[in-house]
Amino acid sequence: MPVKVADLVAEIVKSLPAANPVYTIEGFCEAHHITKPLYYELKRAGLGPREMEVGRRRLITVEAAAEWRRARERRNGE
């Protein structure tokens, strides 16, 4: 029986790892190439990303990370 392309694509998609929708603070720092001390310095200055609290853990959504990056970008001429 011939294999359908749609079935092959569905199998490939199922085998891909799921994207992580949140960062730990350590993961955020690694992904953005900053140190944890710099992260906490930015946070104290009110320049850190939005965090959410889950139990005792503080997490950063990928959306909050993207907003943080956009806020840090410089526009031409600024």
Q: How confident is the model at residue 20 (pLDDT cuts 50, 70, 90)?
A: confident
**DSSP H or E stretch at residue 23:** strand 22-24
Q: How confident is the model at residue 75 (pLDDT cuts 50, 70, 90)?
A: low
For residue range 25-65, what is the model confidence (pLDDT) as tens digits? 999 999 999 999 999 999 999 999 999 999 999 999 999 99
**Is the Cβ–Cβ distance between 41 and 76 less than 8 Å?**
no
Domain ranges of the chain: 20-72
Which pLDDT belongs to residue 30? Answer: 95
pLDDT confidence of residue 17: 61
Answer for the pair 23, 60: CB distance below 8 angstroms, yes or no.
yes
- Residue 76 confidence (pLDDT): 55
